[in-house]
Amino acid sequence: MIRLPLILSALIATAALHAVPASANPSILFDVATGRVIESDDPFQRWYPASLSKLMTTYVVFRAIQAGEVTFSSPVRISKAASQLPPSKMGYPPGSVLTLDNALKIIMVKSANDVARSIGESVAGSQAAFAARMNAESQRLGMNDSHWVNQHGLHDEQQYTSVHDLAILSEALRHDFPQYSDYFSIEGLLSDGKEVPSHNNLLARYDGADGMKTGYTCPAGFNLVASATRNGRTLMAIVVGGETISARDEEAAGLLSRGFASAPGTGPTIAELKRTATGPNVPVDMTDQLCSKKARAARAKKYKELVAAVKAGKAVMPEAIYSADLPRPRRLVPIQLGGAQGPAAKAMAIADEVADVPIPSWRPDMPVPGLRTVEQGDASMALQ
């Protein structure tokens, strides 16, 4: 017997997808092995990344490990500034220390902002210094529509990217560091006896799902980089600007399913995609559409109408592309504080000496603007 909440969830997702044209938000689907794009929609439109920023953070960390600056057992210390960030967060007290390995697992699964900033400070000495590395790596990879000022993705008007750039980044993570791909497929963590589930709902629910990251803020909407592997073929779907969690997940699952149903193509590679739009490329802000009183009221009305329709037998449940229920218990990975036996980054030692004051020569070219106060993080948003 199908439970009523699952029916409503599927109905809401379908309604959200059908309420706007497919071109309403940017997306891209590509084959990871060949880099060939299967389909895309407005891939160069700049967008606020929200917690997808943590993929860039992770790439920079992998590069630092590759260079011998740090190891997976190096310390990440929670700073006072990091502890004061809004959720999603772990809430560790300032001064707490964990391994870089556990910190990476936390930002991929829990999407904890306090841990993400602490990674940047512990590896590069300050948030600004780490952001400079993020920008340098973006330029090296050819991510020309991206700019970074922080590691966590809490909203800043000077932090933006595009699904095209996210495709470049996601492909680089898979190709440059295949040995670390397990970080992106963790279904949940076990912390002090408590289960911390991944925000990526496709993991364990969509056949073959194996990554990568979710993100949400009011300006960004619901974002997702989703990968899946079937019969040795890995596809990557990137969706930004979803109006609900379910709509975002269904759109990504739909892209992946269409890709797997098609034969490997000969379309352009990610690098060969051509821009079609002209004029200023200004990031889209979805705050009014998602988080205004008017928008919330409209979702609440739609929800009540759906409840009434289902109870009256007038609504038919659409077929979901991925399973709403977990087919099995999540595979949990244990994490804990402590255990940092590896070398600390030199920048971390320098930062200690100057009492957490950033080194001016390491600051990015652009100043760090103040954070804008809006709903942030990957906290669940009621489907109203």
Q: How is residue 342 written in tokens?
A: 């590896």
Task: Give the confidence band of 262 by pLDDT, cuts at 50, 70, 90.
Answer: very high
Instruction: Work out the average pLDDT over 300-306.
Output: 87
Non-local (6+) Cβ contacts of 238 within 8 A are: 27, 28, 29, 163, 166, 167, 170, 224, 225, 226, 252
Instruction: Work out the average pLDDT over 292-319.
Output: 85
Non-local (6+) Cβ contacts of 93 within 8 A are: 78, 83
Burial label for 121, CB within 10 Å (0-12, 13-18, 19+), is: buried
Residue 372's pLDDT is 40
Task: Give the confidence band of 163 by pLDDT, cuts at 50, 70, 90.
Answer: very high
Instruction: Work out the average pLDDT over 165-175.
Output: 98
Residue 150's pLDDT is 98
Q: Indicate if the pLDDT at residue 373 is higher than 70.
A: no
In this prediction, what percent of the chain has a pLDDT beyond 90?
73
Q: How is residue 159 written in tokens?
A: 């932090």
Instruction: Map out the domains of the chain with their CATH numbers.
Output: 4-362 (3.40.710.10)
Q: 59-68, 150-159, 313-322 — which is least confidently predicted? A: 313-322
Residue 326's pLDDT is 85
Q: What is the pLDDT of residues 50-64, one digit of tens each?
A: 999 999 999 999 999
Give how far the C-alpha of residue 349 lies from the chain's centroid of Cα atoms, to the nearest Å: 30
Instruction: Count the neighbouring beta carbons within 10 Å of the beta carbon of residue 156.
Output: 21
Q: What's the chain's average pLDDT?
A: 87
Residue 307's pLDDT is 85
Residue type, 164: H
Residue 191's pLDDT is 96
Residue 368's pLDDT is 38
Q: What is the pLDDT of residues 189-234, one digit of tens each?
A: 999 999 999 999 999 999 999 999 999 999 999 999 999 999 999 9
Residue 45's pLDDT is 97
Residue 352's pLDDT is 63
Distances (CA, A) of 379 to 25, 217, 258: 21, 9, 29
Cα torsion 109, 257, 11, 239: sign: positive
Q: 31-35, 72-76, 137-141, 319-323 — which is least confidently predicted? A: 319-323
Task: Give the confidence band of 181 by pLDDT, cuts at 50, 70, 90.
Answer: very high
The tokens 């990975």 sit on which residue?
Answer: 333
Q: Running DSSP on this structure, what letter comes out for residue 52?
A: G
User: The whole model's pTM is what?
Assistant: 0.86
Q: Indicate if the pLDDT at residue 364 is higher than 50.
A: no
Residue 353's pLDDT is 55
SS3 content of the chain, % helix, strand, coil (to 5): 40, 15, 45
Instruction: Work out the average pLDDT over 105-117.
Output: 98
- Round to whole Å and give the CA distance between 180 and 134: 19
What is the three-class DSSP state of 230? strand
Task: Give the confidence band of 344 by pLDDT, cuts at 50, 70, 90.
Answer: very high
Q: Running DSSP on this structure, what letter comes out for residue 99?
A: E
Distances (CA, A) of 161 to 26, 43, 84, 156, 298: 11, 10, 26, 12, 29
Residue 66's pLDDT is 98
What is the three-class DSSP state of 226? strand
Residue 174's pLDDT is 98
**Range of 17-31, 98-112, 280-294, 324-338 with top mean pLDDT:** 98-112
- Round to whole Å and give the CA distance between 325 and 299: 23
Q: Which runs of consecutive H residues, i.e. helices, occur in the chain?
A: 4-19, 53-66, 80-83, 100-109, 113-124, 127-141, 163-176, 245-261, 287-291, 293-311, 346-353
Residue 365's pLDDT is 43
Task: Give the confidence band of 289 by pLDDT, cuts at 50, 70, 90.
Answer: very high
